[in-house]
């Protein structure tokens, strides 16, 4: 029972790590939005990295959205998707795994 509880605890920590990585990605999305407003140098290594990390997701979202002219709403959609993923999937999985782990530890 203790072994299974520790495995569930490790899975909970992996879910927590994935949640943290998505939080970092949200900050990168925010940086991408700010960079698009100030029109930074695209050859800057930091700007280039941020675009290379965020652009694949934003491009996929833009493909499925109607054309809104100069207004790009794909970062808002990306933020909404990430928030829903974090709240519904990751928080639920983390709470379930932690509860199951603690109940197994208390039993055995």
Alpha carbon distance 105, 107 (integer Å): 5
Cα distances from 18 to residues 73, 75, 93, in angstroms, run 25, 20, 11
pTM recorded for the entire structure: 0.87
Q: Residue 19 corresponds to which tokens in the numbers above?
A: 């949640």
* 41-100 tens-digit pLDDT: 989 999 999 999 999 999 999 999 998 888 899 999 999 999 999 999 999 999 999 999
Contact (CB, 8 A) for 11 and 104: no
Distances in Å between the Cα of 8 and the Cα atoms of 5, 22, 86, 92, 93 are 5, 21, 19, 14, 10
> What is the rounded CA–CA span in Å between residue 49 and residue 39?
15
Domain boundaries, the chain: 2-107
């Amino acid at each position: 029972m203790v072994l299974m509880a520790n495995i569930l605890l490790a899975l909970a920590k992996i879910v927590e790590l994935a949640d943290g990585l998505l939080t970092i990605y949200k900050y990168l999305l925010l940086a991408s939005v700010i960079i698009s407003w100030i029109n930074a140098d695209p050859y800057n290594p930091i700007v280039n990295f941020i675009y290379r990390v965020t652009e694949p997701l934003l491009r996929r979202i833009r493909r499925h959205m109607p054309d809104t002219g100069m207004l790009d709403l794909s970062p808002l959609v990306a933020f909404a998707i990430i928030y829903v993923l974090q709240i519904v999937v990751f928080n639920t999985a983390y709470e379930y795994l932690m509860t199951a782990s603690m109940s197994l530890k208390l039993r055995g």
